[in-house]
Every structure is written in structure tokens, then in C-alpha cells.
Amino acid sequence: MKIFKPTHKLLTAIVTLFILSFSTNTVAQEKIQMVRLAKIKVDPLQLDKYTIALKEQMTTAVRLEPGVLTYYAVADKTEPSHITILEIYADTTAYKSHIETTHFKKYKETVKDMVKSLELVDVTLIGSANKMDK
């Protein structure tokens, strides 16, 4: 029976890969995503127009901006004009870049008379589960 004895080169390669994977993972964990809830009350008479503008802005941002990771918009079942949006950005730099884009400025201009109130709440993501994470 032959016993496998790792060579110095093999051990060095394994240790190097371990260190690289650890340091890459550490760097990824240190990059802090920006997570925000936008709580919006929309004029009920303009809700359809608002929803169209919101969907256009969201899909454009996710398609064009690498730092815009997630948008989820939901409406309260009892008050459909009360909208909550979950926004996740790669970091604060991505958010700052996002609010300077043409499509975001177009959205803000389009909905300025539709929005009755806006509350922005910065939150910390403490967990997630997603079928696409399989």
C-alpha cells in the first residue's frame, strides 16, 4: 500500500488557496450594503400613474446600474396608496450614484405631485432566503 506524502509545493499551494479564499471572503463581508425602506403615501387618484412611473424607474435602475441590487415594492392591502419599497444597494456610493441618474431624476419629477408623504428608513439586513439562492 502506497502512502501519499504531500510535497512542499502542494502544501504551499493549499495554504495559499486557503488564505486567498479567506481574505477574499473577508473583503466581501467588509463591503457594507446599503438597505433602505421607502414608505410612500400616494394620492389615491394618481396611484395608477405613480405605479407606472415607479416600475419604470425600478426596472431601469436594476438593468443599468450594477450597484442597484434589489427593489421590491409592495402596497398595503387595506390602503393600496401606501407603498413600501425595499431598496438594496451595493454600498452608499452606489446609492449616491443612483440618485444622480437621469432615470431617477425623471421619476422624482414625474411623481412629485403624486406623493403625499415620503419616509426613508435605513435598516440593517439581518437575513434573507430566496428560492434563487439554491
Rounded Cα distance, 134 and 129, in Å = 9
| Of the candidate ranges 17-26, 48-57, 59-68, the one whose mean pLDDT is the lowest | 17-26
Rounded Cα distance, 82 and 107, in Å = 18
What string of DSSP letters covers 86-114? EEEESSHHHHHHHTTSHHHHHHHHHHTTT
Residue 122: how many other CB atoms lie within 10 Å: 10
Greater confidence (133 vs 63) lies with 63
Give, as one character, the DSSP assignment of residue 67.
T
Dihedral sign (CA 64, 35, 84, 108): negative
Give the closest residue to 60 by CA, choosing from 104, 94, 90. 104
Give the closest residue to 56 by CA, choosing from 16, 107, 110. 107
Cβ atoms of 64 and 103 closer than 8 Å: yes
The pLDDT of residue 133: 61
The pLDDT of residue 9: 57
| Of the candidate ranges 25-34, 83-92, 103-112, 120-129, the one whose mean pLDDT is the lowest | 25-34
Angle at 100 between CA 98 and CA 105, to 5 degrees: 100
The pLDDT of residue 11: 47
| Of the candidate ranges 13-17, 64-68, 77-81, the one whose mean pLDDT is the lowest | 13-17
Examine the pLDDT at 44 and tell me if it is beyond 60.
yes
The pLDDT of residue 29: 46
**pLDDT band at 27, cuts 50/70/90?**
very low
Cβ atoms of 83 and 22 closer than 8 Å: no
User: Residue 42 forms beta bridges with which residues?
Assistant: 115
**pLDDT band at 130, cuts 50/70/90?**
confident
The pLDDT of residue 25: 43
Average pLDDT over residues 64-92: 96
